[in-house]
Structure 1
Amino acid sequence: MEGALSRIESLVTVRRGDQMLWGASIEPEIERARRALEAGDLEVSVQTIEKLPAPALDAMKGWLDQARALIAARGALRQLAAG
């Protein structure tokens, strides 16, 4: 029963206006990732998103794939520039 409740809690959030009454909120992590991205720190943004629960992580898969590819490309360009 406890495992089922935990699973449901990770999938469902009950709110009253802006107040979360029940569930696992990922909003603080999403906000942290957004702020890192706005500050130009793609790596921190990706690291933050990678810590999200599986359903949210699945939803972000496309973005994560693109962000990881960009990080890899930037790393390759740095290596080329360094000689």
Structure 2
Amino acid sequence: VQVFLEQGQGGNIVNVSSVGASHQAAGPIYGASKAALNAVGRNPAYMYKGEKIRVNVIAPGGINTEIATAMGWPNMDGYTRLGLC
């Protein structure tokens, strides 16, 4: 933001989040970090709109990769406690 303000021509800030901020299937720490990133994007978007500084947060949905397979089976006790099975 400081660089954009010094240049006086506005600018764009793009953050990458995920729908994990609103769909907590990935776990609380992951969801909280994505929700924090979304919140961090909202404040400067509001505060610096007059200086033509835009802030966007891109939040793609789930993508089928080998990550889940590589992690192995989830702890079923945890899933049961969360009511997910």
Q: TM-score, normalised by structure 2?
A: 0.31
Greater strand percent: which structure? 2
The structure in which a higher percent of residues are helix is: 1
Which structure is richer in relative contact order (CA contacts within 8 A, separation 6 or more)? 2
